Copies of this chain bind each other. A is one copy, B any other.
Amino acid sequence: MPIAKVTRISASAPDDVAGLETAIARGDIRPEGILAIFGKTEGNGCVNDFSRGFAAQSLGAMLERHVGAAAREVCLVMSGGTEGGLSPHWLVLERGEGMAEPGPALAIGRAHTAALAPEHLGRMGQVEQVADAVRRAMAAADIADPHAVHFVQVKCPLLTAARIGAAQARGASVATTDTLKSMGLSRAASALGIALALGEVAHGDLADAAIGTDAGLWSGRASCSSGIELMGHEVVVLGMSPVWSGRLAIAHGVMADAIDVAPVKAALAALGLSPDGAGDQIVVLAKAEASRSGAIRGRRHTMLDDSDISATRHARAFVGGVLAGLVGHTELYVSGGAEHQGPDGGGPVALIAPRPL
């Protein structure tokens, strides 16, 4: 029976793979079983955050030493920004086999897509392609019921001048010629692809014009990041499967705003954990964002008007505090940039923890 393993390892720098090496040397992590590594690195999480590329290069070289070319299959999702008290760390997602407590238990599935045609980026073509990949990743995780999916991480491509030119040479038009905007559009279409696959939005509600604009459409389980290094998509689905075994379980909630702790407490309770001091072993995956309204429960915030610190950095620090106060530690995977990933100013929070004995 498949068993999911999630190992959280502190990182002393973006290129600190020593902790992973030690865990592998000890046999705590089996490198062949690694499906994905999520990393919280200490850059600014914005355009010029080189801590992500540095981490990915370091992890890739380390994996290659262990598993050779298969290292390229591992999905490396680096999220920059450990503002406030957040602590840099790696989350190693592993699929093992063996006998353990019977499920349902945490299950991990992965899927890759073909290269996305540039003219489909930020449009329904991308939505459909991602939705299809989410369904395949669910199948890989032995999850049939969309309600049993609690978190979907997608890495998606962006447009470059070269890709735009190639499309235009074929007579195709692209959604935007602004490469920075293409990142947001790609995340937006990917999030809606997740929402579609999970039944959170209906196909009839979606259209090219809604992508990136209609804030009423969102997934409560999506987390998307775009990167220049890939042409297709990498999809990681986390959910509960009756086929999988092991002690880990996952639950999620959707914060309606930046201080909305009730859904997180409910998710803690669903995992059998106390809302007061969930403990050090819990893994937290969350999205944070400054509300476009400029207010939290009617009180003005200044995140969008601060020309010295980007709003995403403010939001991660603040929501990081909200969540750390709840769970009692600071190694939380809180990421920003949340188009269609939760409601405006709020966002999805997934929790992974061992089931109580």
Contacts and interface: CB of A to CB of B under 8 A. Distances in A.
Interface of A: 10, 12-15, 42-44, 46-51, 53-54, 57-58, 61, 82-89, 258-259, 261, 280, 290, 296-297, 299-303, 305-310, 313-315, 317-326, 328-331
A10 B53 CA distance: 19
A298 to B, nearest CB: 9
B321 A44 contact: no
A330 to B, nearest CB: 5
State how many copies of this chain the complex holds: 4
Contact of A10 (B42, B89, B299, B329): B299
Contacts of A46: 307-308
Given A51-B50, A83-B317, A330-B301, A324 B322 contact: yes
A329 B299 contact: yes
Given A307-B49, A308-B44, A82 B322 contact: no
B44 A259 contact: no
B85 A307 contact: no
Contacts of A303: 84-85
A117 to B, nearest CB: 25
Contacts of A305: 42, 47-48
Contacts of A330: 259, 296-297, 299, 301
A280 B299 CA distance: 10
Contact of A317 (B13, B84, B300, B328): B84
Given A14-B50, A57-B58, A317 B321 contact: yes
B48 A306 contact: yes
Nearest to A315: B84
